[in-house]
Amino acid sequence: MKFAVLDLETTGEQPGRDEIIQVGIVIVNDFAIERTYASFVRPSVPIPPFIRSLTGITDEMVADAPAMDDVVNEIVPLLDGAVLVAHNAPFDVAFLKRALASAGYPGYDGRILDTLDWLRVLFPTLTSYQLGFVANAFGIAHDRPHQADSDAEATAEIWVRCMEKLFSLPLMTLQRLGFLFAHPDFASQQDQAWFLEEVVAWKESAEEPGTPTRSHRQFALGVDDWTTEEDRDREKFEEDFDAFQEALKRRIRERMPDYEERPAQERMMQEVSQSLKDERHLVIEAGTGTGKSLGYLIPSIHYALQTGDKVVVSTHTINLQEQLRQKELPMLHELSPTPFRSAVLKGRSHYLCLRKFEGKVNNQDFPNEREDRVIAAQMVVWLGETKHGDEEELNLGQKGGEFWSHVASDADSCLNRACPWFRKCFYHRARNDAGAADVIITNHSLLFTDVKAEHRILPAYGRLVVDEAHHFEDVASQHLGVDLSYFSMVSALTSLLKDSRSGQLPLLKSLLEQHPNAKTEGWGERIGQLFPDIVKVKENWDELFDALYDRFIARAAAGQSEGGSVTVRLKADKLPHDWKSFVAMEDNLFLTLTSVLKVLDRLVTDGKDDAEDFGLESLFTDLAGTVKDLYRARDALRLLLKADDPNMVYWMEATPHFKSRSLRLYGAPIDVSSLMRDFFWERKDAVVMTSATLTVEKSFQYVKSQLGLSDRDEAEEKLQTVQLPSPFKYRDQALVLIPRDFPGFKGANADPLFMERLIDSLRDAAVVTHGKMLVLFTSHKMLKLAHGPLREALQPHGIHVLGQGVDSGNRSKLTRLFMQAGSAVLLGTSSFWEGVDIPGDALTCLAIVRLPFQPPNHPMVEAKSEYLKAQGENPFTKLSVPQAVIRFKQGFGRLVRTAKDRGVVLIYDTRVIETSYGKHFLYSLPGPKIEHLPSESIPGRMRDWLEAPGAETGNGSSGKVETT
């Protein structure tokens, strides 16, 4: 089969208004590239600056090129008899059709295939489907992105990979895909369905009978059944830690000749090993570059092997969990002188429920018809490959979250051993692996879920290592409290009854009516009688949430200058005079819902005994799960509207854009230190807390108080605190500059003078560094105010500006675009202050616009401040400053990620040098060179320092601040 792979470069995005400036075509026959065609095209208008910068194509390059009509005459024969292939085909096809019509040819009516569509289905674990990213992932040379010849060649090779993958899929997988695509809503993708039919026909004729495929219930799978492993009969492991560590290092040196030992990492391993052995708690700050993952994993593995006791390692982010699974653990399994077993366990909703997915596909339950079918197709392919069934592996697109919520594993609807998928179940496999493991990698959220579930989720453990420990107290507050969204109830009600024909109850009623039986007589009628009451519950819920939004959020939003979410605190002793009306609405809802739930309880109880006889086990199990969800939402609403626990803080939050549909109610404990002490410090033999940012001015006092630890614990030798320095030479690698004449301002909103000066300074700095700058904001509004003017100011210099929430809300995507652009400035807010890793030359300058204080009027901050005041403490110095310092240290840590990184940090908040508390921020940094100087001197100082690496001797700058 002949394919013509097309790529066009244009002066813009609008066919008819914009023009083609380059054409690239690659002819592929079956799986082989046969020939290529490329030509510049002379447009009738100048090439816009942005397009010149993006493509590298200039007016001079196209000045002597042929006109588009002449190029059309050359490419029409190439397209004849070929299937057209393009990456994001609608764009190229629209321009092609316009060019053909303009040259007097009939419109293109051949088959069209889009590599973007096929990549989504065939490679569902790629984190991006952008052409350059895919080419890099596949190891395809793509030296000149955004030039048509290079893009067409890369697309052609990608298309060959897609065909190879498609033809390699098991027949049953291809048939499943055909089943999903054979639907009227795929009319716009009929060529995709046609090509799939061609492949299925070829596969059916070519595949030998009995070709083995690992499968179950007509789904190809990437794993066999999981089995419970017997305890290992391994030799007694008596090697002490020093010998184990030395043997491991010897193996590392053999594999990596350039391996260099890090004294701080060595010290960390010794401290963690001693803590686990001596049953003593440890709080240890390990600076950036220490290698703390190995610093705690190696002693944890040794301890587990030596004693037979499990060690649990907990991270804050799924990203770090995945890094440990994919990087550190495989290396340690390979190099460890003694074999060990490890497992990664996440929250249950991260795993696919195969029973639910099978039902969704077989019943064609696709509310978002086209997109849901694509997602289902992705997952059908993925099932043949995945070992873990973990949502994190997939790239499901914007609507993927909604789809996943209907097929995720959950306790309430689990059939356990009665499930036909039990021995294939990904969640039970992960639980089983954890039960057999020496070291278990989990996350803070699951750790506290296990606490709330009375330790029924994680295997029993006495030793715990907590990484990213600076988040531990926040996660405790979230998980030991309660929250309720508008959709907490609505999603469950919709599962029950979407309309008269869809939902669990209509489906059950229909199935019972199709198979009448004495045992089920009257069930259909009982179910039908519930429909009006369920509709009433939904109406009552909407009425309550609309009223809460209008009374509290809408009024607060009217007086709030910054967009985004609006937060309103609820105080039991200061509830508004009309609060009784909301309580009355909740009471009506409670009574109606309780009456529905009682009937459903009886229905589930009566039906479960006979469900197997009628093939309804899954439906009744899902129904039982929905009933439990409704009970939880009902009880949470009552608790939150009471708002009467003095040890809790209550609030509501919503965004004006989505109004009551975004409303969420919260209740969280004000102080969790005593709970933390009870759950961990008193019950566990040894807990290790580690992070790169635990100290404030080299003191652990703040983090100890937050976690429920005290000086007495250290005095009694129940606790040790250790601060390890970073191995980086910050004095040579980082220069901190503070413009001492910069205007200040109070409150969240910057005045025009500050914004004007900020944009001018950022522009000048970005020109010096050729982009390669990350700017950290504390306000989305300020970011958006800076984005437009800064983009305009840097456009003549060929420097792109990317803004979080402007160009994309996805942090990973923005980071990738920033690194690919080469010369770019990235503006980020909250999520960019930590967890972003941009090593090497991609980042040369970090700008911190404001010190990252939490809003003092946020209900949690406000309640904690009141709590501290009641104890005679100063909330600003005891809470606000330490929180901001730790956040500030996280932000600073974005710049230097390796021993070779070097750059400048600009701090535009002059409070660091003008206030008494400013020193806490500067003295908490890991020893960079710090100077304050006039604004106009900053670009020159940056240029001098960056051009003379390692040559600094302290040239007597009058504004220099020495750190201790």
Say how many C-beta atoms besides its own lie within 10 A of residue 318's C-beta.
17
Q: State the Cα–Cα distance between residues 1 and 34, nearest whole angstrom.
A: 12
Residues forming beta bridges with residue 47, ordered by sequence position: none
Q: Is 747 annotated as a binding residue?
A: no
* Token pair 């409150």: residue: 747
Q: In this structure, which amino acid lies at residue 30?
A: D
Phi, psi of 852 (to 5 degrees): -85, 60
User: Does residue 607 contact residue 620 with C-beta atoms inside 8 Å?
Assistant: yes
Q: Is 286 annotated as a binding residue?
A: yes
* Token pair 């010096």: residue: 768
Q: State the Cα–Cα distance between residues 74 and 103, nearest whole angstrom.
A: 12
Which string of b and e fits 784-793 if b means at least 16 CB within 10 Å?
A: bbbbebbbeb
Residue 828: enclosing H or E segment and its boundaries? Answer: strand 824-828
Q: Is 290 annotated as a binding residue?
A: yes
Q: Name the CA radius of gyration of the chain, rounded.
A: 31
* Token pair 């989990």: residue: 442
Q: Is 291 annotated as a binding residue?
A: yes
Residues in Cβ contact with 955 at an 8 Å cutoff, skipping those fewer than 6 apart: none
Q: State the Cα–Cα distance between residues 845 and 921, nearest whole angstrom.
A: 19
User: Does residue 677 contact residue 671 with C-beta atoms inside 8 Å?
Assistant: no
The token pair that represents 925 in the structure block: 């940094």
Q: Is 399 annotated as a binding residue?
A: no
Q: Is 771 annotated as a binding residue?
A: no
Residue 881: enclosing H or E segment and its boundaries? Answer: helix 881-892
The token pair that represents 720 in the structure block: 């040790």
Residues forming beta bridges with residue 177, ordered by sequence position: none
Q: Is 135 annotated as a binding residue?
A: no
Reference 120, options 172, 170, 158, 171; nearest CA is 158
* Neighbour-count burial of 533, counting CB atoms closer than 10 A to its CB (0-12 exposed, 13-18 middle, 19+ buried): middle
Residues forming beta bridges with residue 664, ordered by sequence position: 485, 653
The token pair that represents 364 in the structure block: 């064609």
Q: Is 288 annotated as a binding residue?
A: yes
Reference 295, options 702, 899, 722, 835; nearest CA is 722
Residues at the binding site for ATP are 286-293
Residues at the binding site are 286-293
